[in-house]
Amino acid sequence: MSYLALYRKYRPKKFSDVIGQEHIVTALKNQIASGEISHAYLFTGTRGTGKTSIAKLFARAINCTNLQDGSPCGKCDVCKGLADSSNMDILEIDAASNNRVDEIRELRENVKYPPVVGKYKVYIIDEVHMLTDSAFNALLKTLEEPPMHVVFILATTEVQKLPATILSRCMRFDFKLVDYTEIAKLITKIFTNDGIKFEPEAVTLIARLGKGSVRDALSIADMCVAYTNKNVTFDAVSNVVGSTNLDVLNTLVDSMLEGNIKSLMGEIESISKSGKNMGVLANDVAGYLRDAIITKTCTNYKDILKLPTNLLDNLEKLSSKYSVEDMLYAMRSFASLEQDFRYTDSPRTLFEITALSVCTTRPTTLEALDKRVTALEEKLKQVNP
Q: What is the CATH number of the domain that holds 115?
A: 3.40.50.300
pLDDT over 90 at 349, yes or no: yes
Residue 211 lies in a domain: yes
Query: Which one of 241, 262, 292 terminates a domain?
Result: 241
| Polymer length of the chain | 385
pLDDT at 343: 87
HEC profile of 203-226? HHHHHHHCCCCHHHHHHHHHHHHH
Question: If pLDDT is split at 50, 70 and 90, which confidence band does 78 have?
Answer: confident
Query: Could you tell me if 98 and 167 lie in one domain?
Result: yes
Query: Could you tell me if 237 and 338 lie in one domain?
Result: no
pLDDT over 70 at 360, yes or no: yes
Residue 138 lies in a domain: yes
Query: Which one of 190, 209, 241 terminates a domain?
Result: 241
Into how many domains does the chain fold?
3
Query: Which one of 175, 200, 229 terminates a domain?
Result: 175
Tell me the residue range of the domain where 270 lies.
Answer: 246-368
- The beta strands (E) that lie in the chain are given as 40-45, 90-94, 121-126, 150-156, 171-175, 197-198, 231-232
From 215, 236, 262, 208, select the one nearest 48 (Cα to Cα): 215
Query: Could you tell me if 129 and 271 lie in one domain?
Result: no
CB 121 within 8 Å of CB 151:
yes
pLDDT over 70 at 365, yes or no: no
| Digit-coded pLDDT (tens) for 24-54 | 999 999 999 888 899 999 999 998 999 999 9
pLDDT at 30: 92
Q: Which residues is 175 bridged to in the sheet? A: 45
Residue 373 lies in a domain: no
Q: What percent of the chain has pLDDT over 70?
A: 97
Q: Which residues is 156 bridged to in the sheet? A: 44
pLDDT at 216: 92
pLDDT at 348: 92
d(CA 10, CA 190): 8
Query: Could you tell me if 196 and 342 lie in one domain?
Result: no
pLDDT over 80 at 128, yes or no: yes
| Digit-coded pLDDT (tens) for 51-65 | 999 999 999 999 998
pLDDT at 62: 92
| Digit-coded pLDDT (tens) for 276-297 | 889 889 999 999 999 999 999 9
pLDDT at 286: 93
Please give the full DSSP string across 27-67, using - where no structure is assigned.
HHHHHHHHT---SEEEEEESTTSSHHHHHHHHHHHTT-SS-
Give the mean pLDDT of the chain. 88
Per-residue exposure over 258-293, b if at least 16 CB sit within 10 Å of its own CB, e if not: eeeeebbeebbeebbeeebebbebbbbbbbbbebbb
pLDDT over 70 at 353, yes or no: yes
What value, to the nearest 5°, has the Cα angle with vertex 361 and ends 356 and 363? 135
What is the CATH number for 184? 1.10.8.60
| Digit-coded pLDDT (tens) for 83-127 | 887 788 888 888 878 777 878 888 888 888 888 888 899 999 898
Query: Could you tell me if 233 and 323 lie in one domain?
Result: no
Residue 338 lies in a domain: yes
Query: Could you tell me if 169 and 198 lie in one domain?
Result: no
| Digit-coded pLDDT (tens) for 187-213 | 999 999 999 999 999 999 999 999 899
d(CA 304, CA 300): 7
Residue 379 lies in a domain: no
Query: Could you tell me if 13 and 145 lie in one domain?
Result: yes
Strands 150-156 and 121-126, bridge-based pairing: parallel
pLDDT at 366: 65
pLDDT over 60 at 314, yes or no: yes
What is the CATH number for 320? 1.20.272.10
Residue 385 lies in a domain: no
pLDDT at 88: 83
Residue 70 lies in a domain: yes
Over the Cα atoms of the chain, what is R_g? 27
pLDDT at 203: 92
Query: Could you tell me if 250 and 350 lie in one domain?
Result: yes
Residue 348 lies in a domain: yes
Query: Could you tell me if 94 and 212 lie in one domain?
Result: no
Query: Could you tell me if 106 and 45 lie in one domain?
Result: yes
Query: Could you tell me if 283 and 346 lie in one domain?
Result: yes
CB 177 within 8 Å of CB 50:
no
Question: If pLDDT is split at 50, 70 and 90, which confidence band does 385 have?
Answer: low
pLDDT over 70 at 364, yes or no: no
Number of Cα atoms under 13 Å in the Cβ half of residue 242: 10
| Digit-coded pLDDT (tens) for 146-159 | 888 899 999 999 99
Query: Could you tell me if 60 and 192 lie in one domain?
Result: no
d(CA 346, CA 36): 59
